[in-house]
Amino acid sequence: MDAGKAIFETVDRLRQRRTAPLVLELDLTEGLTEGPPADPLAAVLSMRKPRLSDVLSGLKRARQDSRVKALIVKIGSNPVGLAMVQELRRAVTEFRASGKLTVAFGETFGEFGSGTVPYYLASAFERVYLQPSGDVGLTGVAVEQRFVKGTLAKLGVGYELGQRHEYKTAANTFTQDHMTEPHRESMTRIVESVIEQIVAGIAEGRRLDPGKVRELLDRGPFIGAEAREAGLVDGLAYRDEVYDEVKQAAGGEAHLQFVSRYARGAAVRKLPNPAADGIALVHGIGPIKTGRSGRSPLGGGGAMGSDTISAALRAARRDEHVKAVVFRVDSPGGSYVASDTVWREVVLTRKVKPVIVSMGDVAASGGYFVAMAADVIVAQPGTLTGSIGVFGGKPVVAELLGKLGVNSEMVSEGANAGMFSTSRGFSPEQWERVNAWLDRIYDDFVGKVAQGRDLTRERAHELAKGRVWTGADAQAGGLVDELGGLEDALGLARKRAGLSDDAPVRTYPRLNPLERLRGPESSDDKAAALARIRLDAWGPLARLSAELGLPAAGPLTLPGWWTIR
């Protein structure tokens, strides 16, 4: 009897879960991931993180689901980029417009620190609650740049770098001891643009006058009671109090469920026909490099490999059931050659079917290069993009080596065989080659911008010069076509392909377990788009080591250079 009773109670609980009102929950404590894991290590590292695409699709479906009564989001201190925050704000606003309750809860929006962007996200919700011990770090936006030229000079390290043009300021950290006027102009406009967006969003969400929001920015940060008095939060409460209130408002025995679980459950119940026409979604995330995408087990994040992305685009291009491609780009750039490789595949794909680019938090320099040939570029107002320019050179450590008692000698054949040695500077003839290289890349970049964006070369050059723009300003200049997020890009792709609004979206490449195990038959095989684990010697210091001109092999390598390449 006891066993039968237990079975009956279990079945009854499952039935209630299927019929009870739903309160969707999103925990941003650990942030969000952009796309599906690209490799086994990424799968492990992102195991506990919700995926942006799941959250967006889940909230879109929930707007029409009568069982879903409310959404509650815990906003943590783990940083989420401004563009991703704007994607979430849009999804929350549309969910809220369907008549359902939206609640944001934060233990703190910046614990004695800046919390402007997390609070900007919270302001999109109907109700905002703060733990009594928490603060609202609404302080504005500050961008700080450090310059190490003086320190390097004391160490005996000099940098010989060229750049195209005055707004390409990545090298200024090493070559300047203060902001140049173009550097300051560019950064000032970025901060102004971001603040304009944040003020407008908070004013609309909290029903405050924009002038009042500006005033509050100058008064922050706020302790909890001050934030409530200023109208920034609706109440001070602990998690249990907030969740109880939301469940009560939902009515009945409301059931809590994470948005990503809700989205995946719906996807399982409605498996798309493998032969149905749909959209291919290709993710290009991280610094751009030649070879395959992947992540180092030593840390430092993932990388966008040109071989991987190119193979994914080729596979989508050749799939007769793929009617359009959405290329999601979130990258600060990297290799010019790798970027050009991906650009070519975008061009070829566009000749066959529509290509829509959706930009994430950053799609600048090489990240813009891979995007600029698309039919339509969609970016968030807060996306950092542009940076159409190039810089290159090397550090010179001869003086430092001398201080350390290190003597360097070279035996070479060829006038420029030792051109890239860091123990000596460039000769005048070698500088000519460096400048020819910089001019070639810049001219190619600007020419392709003009071609892809339907601009004159002169106008493309004015927008280029290495300058970084926000998505809002880039759209005003013609570098971006529309402001919006991933769902907007998918909608555009469906429309251009003549598909229904619910046409399936498939992440590319989609491989079965056997295809993953057997390996690619050729570079045309979609299995060639698999990422890998990269054994980067410098791990999380890879970017710094590259900027300092340190050997790619890393600090743990055999002494001497015995391989002639």
Is position 447 within any domain? Answer: no
Q: Are residues 25 and 129 in the same domain?
A: yes
Cα–Cα distance, 152 to 147 (Å, whole number):
10
User: What is the reported pLDDT for 79?
Assistant: 72
- Stretch 176-193: mean pLDDT, rounded? 92
Please write the tens of the pLDDT for every residue from 3-24: 565 555 554 455 555 678 999 9
Q: What's the domain range around 313?
A: 272-389+465-533
Percentage above 90 pLDDT, the chain: 55
Q: How many CB atoms lie within 10 A of CB 7?
A: 10
pLDDT of 228 above 80: yes
pLDDT of 562 above 60: no
Please write the tens of the pLDDT for every residue from 108-131: 998 877 899 999 999 999 999 999
pLDDT band, residue 403 (cuts 50/70/90): confident
List Cβ neighbours of 563 (8 Å cut-off, separation of 6 or more): none
Angstrom distances, CA of residue 270 to CA of 35, 267, 480, 500, 502: 21, 5, 35, 16, 11
How does the average pLDDT of the chain come out, rounded? Answer: 85
List Cβ neighbours of 357 (8 Å cut-off, separation of 6 or more): 326, 327, 328, 329, 363, 371, 374, 376, 377, 378, 489
User: What is the reported pLDDT for 266?
Assistant: 66
User: What CATH number is attached to the domain comprising 34?
Assistant: 3.90.226.10
User: What is the reported pLDDT for 299?
Assistant: 47
Query: What is the SS3 assignment for 517?
Result: helix
Higher confidence at residue 118 or residue 296? 118
Q: Are residues 305 and 373 in the same domain?
A: yes
Is position 349 within any domain? Answer: yes
The backbone region for 478, taken as left when phi is positive above 0, alpha when psi lies in -120 to 50, beta otherwise, is left
Is position 353 within any domain? Answer: yes
pLDDT of 409 above 70: yes
Q: Are residues 334 and 281 in the same domain?
A: yes
Q: 335, 366 in Cβ contact below 8 A?
A: yes
- Stretch 157-171: mean pLDDT, rounded? 85
Q: 285, 509 in Cβ contact below 8 A?
A: no
Which of 29-43, 161-175, 324-338, 363-377 shows the lowest mean pLDDT across its residues?
29-43
pLDDT band, residue 225 (cuts 50/70/90): very high
- Stretch 156-177: mean pLDDT, rounded? 86
Q: Are residues 296 and 228 in the same domain?
A: no
Cα–Cα distance, 322 to 278 (Å, whole number):
5
- Stretch 69-82: mean pLDDT, rounded? 88
User: What is the reported pLDDT for 348?
Assistant: 97
Q: Are residues 230 and 357 in the same domain?
A: no
Higher confidence at residue 450 or residue 410? 450
Token look-up 């050059």 returns 461
Which of 114-123, 173-182, 389-398, 522-531 shows the lowest mean pLDDT across its residues?
522-531
Cα–Cα distance, 466 to 167 (Å, whole number):
5
Is position 145 within any domain? Answer: no
Is position 554 within any domain? Answer: no
pLDDT band, residue 158 (cuts 50/70/90): confident
- Stretch 378-385: mean pLDDT, rounded? 96
pLDDT band, residue 36 (cuts 50/70/90): low
Q: Are residues 336 and 297 in the same domain?
A: yes
Q: Are residues 42 and 132 in the same domain?
A: yes
Q: Are residues 63 and 135 in the same domain?
A: yes
User: What is the reported pLDDT for 445?
Assistant: 95
User: What is the reported pLDDT for 557?
Assistant: 34
pLDDT band, residue 145 (cuts 50/70/90): confident
Higher confidence at residue 563 or residue 313? 313
- Stretch 500-523: mean pLDDT, rounded? 71
User: What is the reported pLDDT for 33?
Assistant: 84
Is position 291 within any domain? Answer: yes
Number of domains in the chain: 2
Q: Are residues 375 and 485 in the same domain?
A: yes
- Stretch 140-145: mean pLDDT, rounded? 87
Q: What is the per-residue DSSP string for 180-217? A: -HHHHHHHHHHHHHHHHHHHHHHHHHHT--HHHHHHHH
Q: Are residues 253 and 294 in the same domain?
A: no
Q: Are residues 87 and 118 in the same domain?
A: yes
Which of 404-418, 445-459, 483-497 shows the lowest mean pLDDT across its residues?
404-418
Residue 475 tokens read as 């759209």
Is position 433 within any domain? Answer: no
- Amino acid identity, residue 315? A
pLDDT of 357 above 70: yes
Is position 151 within any domain? Answer: no
Q: Are residues 292 and 382 in the same domain?
A: yes
Please write the tens of the pLDDT for every residue from 235-290: 999 999 999 999 999 886 889 999 989 988 765 555 556 678 999 999 999 888 88
Please write the tens of the pLDDT for every residue from 458-494: 999 999 999 999 999 999 999 999 999 999 999 999 9
User: What is the reported pLDDT for 496?
Assistant: 96
- Stretch 70-94: mean pLDDT, rounded? 91
- Stretch 322-339: mean pLDDT, rounded? 93
Residue 232 tokens read as 């920034």
